[in-house]
Amino acid sequence: MSDHDEGAVGGEQVEELEPHEALEELLEEVVDGLGLDAEIEVEERAGVLMGRLEGEEIGLFIGRHGQTIDAVQHLAQRIVFPEGPSTVRVVIDANGYRERRAEALRVDADEAADQALSSGKPVELDPLPPFERRIVHEYLRERDGVETHSEGNEPERYLVITPLAD
């Protein structure tokens, strides 16, 4: 291994980790730092590097309204791919939280689409992070009678569901 493949940290030489190793190490440090007992699994597939945690009392890792898990996911993307934007997306899940949240978003999207169709007026959802807006956009793309677009600036960017003209 050449010196270009290594970096000095605290006077020690460390080799650069593969993305899945870097994510696993990061998640282990966060779990240890929070004092949680959790199993960590990292899987690579189709442009997604998925980190999963399973364990008791994992709510601290998820945080209120998913704020902690979202922050860890954002930091993980930047730590695992420090050279900048990557075609691989890092997704962090804990005890199936992401699928439960996606289902709740789909329910909210259906209710908002129904409201837009019955009122004939656009309906604005509360601000959502980009990956949650994407879930709603993709879900409602399959629904007849409405279209979606995003408005506003991060972190207050929100989705608008508009009924289509007949």
Structure tokens at 38: 């959790």
What is the tens place of the pLDDT at every residue in 95-139? 999 999 999 999 999 999 999 999 999 999 999 988 899 999 999
Boundaries of domain holding 151:
99-163
**Same domain for 114 and 131?**
yes
What is the tens place of the pLDDT at every residue in 130-160? 889 999 999 999 999 999 999 999 989 999 9
What is the tens place of the pLDDT at every residue in 49-80? 999 999 998 999 999 989 999 999 999 999 99
**Same domain for 90 and 110?**
no
Write the CB contacts of 106 (distance below 8 Å, at least 6 apart in sequence).
135, 136, 139
**Whats the size of the chain, residue-wise?**
166
| DSSP β-ladder status, 48-55 and 89-94 | parallel
Q: How many helices (H) and strands (E) does the chain have?
A: 5, 8
pLDDT band at residue 15 using 50, 70 and 90 as cut-offs: low
CA-nearest of 80, 85, 163 to 130 is 85
pLDDT band at residue 3 using 50, 70 and 90 as cut-offs: very low
CATH code, domain with 20 = 3.30.300.20
To the nearest whole number, what is the mean pLDDT of the chain? Answer: 91
CA-nearest of 103, 123, 105, 104 to 113 is 123
Count of domains forming the chain: 2
**Same domain for 104 and 65?**
no
Does the pLDDT value for residue 27 go beyond 70?
A: yes
The amino acid sitting at 164 is L
Does the pLDDT value for residue 6 go beyond 80?
A: no
What secondary structure letter does DSSP report for 35?
T
CATH code, domain with 114 = 3.30.1370.50
